[in-house]
Amino acid sequence: GQNIDQPTEMTATEGAIVQINCTYQTSGFNGLFWYQQHAGEAPTFLSYNVLDGLEEKGRFSSFLSRSKGYSYLLLKELQMKDSASYLCAVLDSNYQLIWGAGTKLIIKP
Amino acid sequence: DAMVIQNPRYQVTQFGKPVTLSCSQTLNHNVMYWYQQKSSQAPKLLFHYYDKDFNNEADTPDNFQSRRPNTSFCFLDIRSPGLGDAAMYLCATSRATGGTDTQYFGPGTRLTVL
């Protein structure tokens, strides 16, 4: 079967750095997405990785290791508005998007 | 500036009473998706349209139907909603299904079944 694993919940402090991990087992791989979803709202696109390595976009960075079936999303200089769920999703060999259940990130002052 | 629009944002219906959710897009994307998302769970793909070609997921109940009368609009019909159908329904679009085309989501419709 296909599986995406992420921690259910994480807590971090405003101004700090947090790393959200995602491991996957899918039939084929055509890239990995990270989405941010605030409570009661739709997911919004954050990043896409298809090659190994780190992609940096402002305060957010995303890393991929295909050999390990592993990715992480790194959030720096945390702000209260970063409190949200972060969903990892993988495009499988059929270009179907396989979603993780999301990691709820709680930011404390 | 809204690119994917869903109406209504909140919908209340009675057990067994048909309900229709709507989605429209201004992106001129070829693909439109409907997802069901329950609290603290991953979005679950119900079906998608590539242009007029309808693709149903194998485990999508027959109770759920969809229509896409033109490029811009797509509808989700729930013929006989049950209590278990209460969820957030997300519409998304992408240029195509292959490659790296990002899916863009609408704000969702939260369905309550009484």
Look at residue B39 in the predicted model and tell me its pLDDT.
Answer: 86
Any bridge partners for residue A62, and if so which? A55, A73
CA distance A46 to chain B (A): 10
Q: How confident is the model at residue B100 (pLDDT cuts 50, 70, 90)?
A: low
Look at residue A42 in the predicted model and tell me its pLDDT.
Answer: 86
Biggest CA pair distance of chain A = 43
CA distance A44 to chain B (A): 7
Q: Which residue has the higher pLDDT, A72 or A97?
A: A72
Q: Which residues in chain B touch residue A104, judged by CB atoms under 8 angstroms apart?
A: 40
User: What does the DSSP 8-state code read for residue A79?
Assistant: -
Q: Is the pLDDT of residue B104 over 60?
A: yes
Q: Is the pLDDT of residue B99 over 90?
A: no
Tokens of residue B42, six digits? 């991953």
pLDDT per position as a tens digit, B3-35: 999 988 999 999 999 999 999 999 999 999 999
- Least Cα distance to B87 among B62, B112, B51, B67 occurs for B112
pLDDT per position as a tens digit, A33-78: 999 999 888 899 999 999 999 999 899 999 999 999 999 999 999 9
pLDDT per position as a tens digit, A6-29: 999 999 999 999 999 999 999 899
CA distance B70 to chain A (A): 23
Q: Choosing among B97, B109, B111, which should be mutated to test the A contact, i.e. which has the most A CBs within 10 A?
A: B97
> In terms of CA atoms, which chain A residue is nearest residue B44?
A99
Look at residue A71 in the predicted model and tell me its pLDDT.
Answer: 98
Contact (Cβ atoms closer than 8 angstroms) between residue A13 and residue A57: no
- CA dist A46 and B51 (Å) reads 26
Q: Which residues in chain B touch residue A91, judged by CB atoms under 8 angstroms apart?
A: 100
For residue A1, the SS3 value is: coil
